[in-house]
Amino acid sequence: MTTLKDQFGRGIEYLRISVTDRCNFRCLYCMPLEGLEWLPKKDILTYEEITEIVAQLAPLGLRRLRISGGEPTLRPELPRLIAMLHSVDGIEDIALSTNGVRLPEMSESLHRAGLDRVNISADSLRPERIASIARRRLPFDPVQSALAAQRAGLGPIKINMVVMRGINDDEAVDFARLTLDHPWHVRFIELMPVGEMRELTWDHVVPSDELLSRLESVSPLLPVAGPARGNGPATYYAFPGAAGTVGVITPMSHTYCGSCNRVRLTADGRLRTCLFGDHEVNLRDPLRAGDDLVPLYVRALAEKPKEHNLLQMQVGGLRALSQVGG
């Protein structure tokens, strides 16, 4: 199968699908405490509509899907969607991004439905701090969620931590140490100036180079290839003899737009060709009108921007990632 390329020759094979804009957390860097103006149900794509979009785009080289949100595990019957997507010809890999709260009870049914693997977002290992960053007190132990997903066969497990200076950066070493005994990929994400972020500033960003040198105070880090599947924009390292790896995702200090292979579908059916910026194409209404989506997709890729310009943006100047399927 040939993969459709954008105007800069980047082959697009990866679609991130937001299935809801709602969430059971209110992470400091993502969602305001009072929530957002939620999309009305009629505006949100049904599972049948999402599957139809994927079925129309798969012949153009789409091979990998990630289900995201908001918090995707809140959408009722999520395993039903996974099973529908799993049966689309050409789809080789389906991953889920989740805050992990519901993984202990859902991992097995998700795996049975055809989910390949999960990324778990976790910004602290301490219950009190989890509650203060997520601004919700829910039973959530990141290690137990990762173990449940691993037992269900949803590996390689990736754990993503958004590092914030003075808020949780003192736990980066504890997260990195998890990789000594577990075959997990712990990735440190640079905080991005999107969403509300009322309580955060540029001073909270910890550049990945600084973070890596802090980790090296524990033990030297060796550059490694990273996980075989879903090896996206992260750069990976490992402590000598460790079961897993640590990675850094650096949207702020080093961009990786040149090798971008992805587009996004919002919960209300807009195709976004760049995570940042406001270029989006409505696929939902043409789909509901019975139109062919392929020409719209081809045109959207032809207009996919070369790169984002996050460094020049005002803090809080962009839609929250929960609204665009981060």
Q: Is the Cβ of residue 121 or residue 124 nearer to ligand SAM in the bound state?
A: 121
Q: At closest approach, how far in Å is the CB of 1 from ligand SF4? A: 32
Q: Which residues contact 291 (CB under 8 A, 6 or more apart)?
A: none
Partner from ligand SF4, ligand SAM, none binding residue 191, C-beta < 5-8 Å depending on class:
ligand SAM
Q: How far is the CB of 75 from ligand SF4 (least distance, A)?
A: 12
C-beta of 142 vs 226, nearer to ligand SAM: 142
Site for ligand SAM in 161-190 (CB under 6 A): 162, 189
Residue 29 makes contact with ligand SAM by CB under 6 A = yes
Residue 256 burial by CB count (10 A; 0-12/13-18/19+): exposed, middle or buried?
Answer: middle
**What string marks each residue from 193 to 232 as x (binds ligand SAM by CB under 6 A) or -?**
-xx-------------------------------------
Q: What DSSP state is assigned to residue 313?
A: S
Residue 26 contacts which entry, ligand SF4, ligand SAM, none (Cβ below 5-8 A, type-dependent):
ligand SF4
Segment contacting ligand SAM by CB under 6 A, of 34-42, 63-71, 102-110, 264-272: 63-71
DSSP code per residue over 213-267 = HHHHTTS--EEE---SS---S-EEEE-TT-SSEEEEE-TTTS--GGG--EEEE-T
Strand 222-224 with 262-265, pairing:
unpaired
Cβ neighbour number for residue 68 with a 10 Å cutoff: 25
Which H or E element spans position 119? strand 117-121
Whole-angstrom distance, CA of residue 94 vs CA of residue 186: 20
Phi, psi of 10 (to 5 degrees): -85, 125
| Contact (Cβ atoms closer than 8 angstroms) between residue 148 and residue 107 | yes
- Give contact residues for ligand SF4 (rule: CB under 6 A): 23, 25-27, 30-31, 69-71, 99, 121, 322
Q: Which is nearer to ligand SAM, 56 or 97 (CB)?
A: 97
Report whether 55 contacts 48 (CB < 8 A): no
322 near ligand SAM, judged by CB under 6 A:
yes
Among 17, 58, 113, 191, binds ligand SAM (CB under 6 A): 191
State the nearest-atom distance from the C-beta of 72 to ligand SF4, in Å. 9
Burial of 299 by CB count in 10 Å (0-12 exposed, 13-18 middle, 19+ buried)?
Answer: exposed
Q: Which partner, ligand SAM, ligand SF4, none, binds residue 189 by CB below 5 to 8 Å per kind? A: ligand SAM
- Does residue 20 bind ligand SAM (CB under 6 A)? no
Residues that bind ligand SAM (CB under 6 A): 23, 29-30, 68-69, 71, 97-99, 121, 160, 162, 189, 191-192, 194-195, 321-322, 326
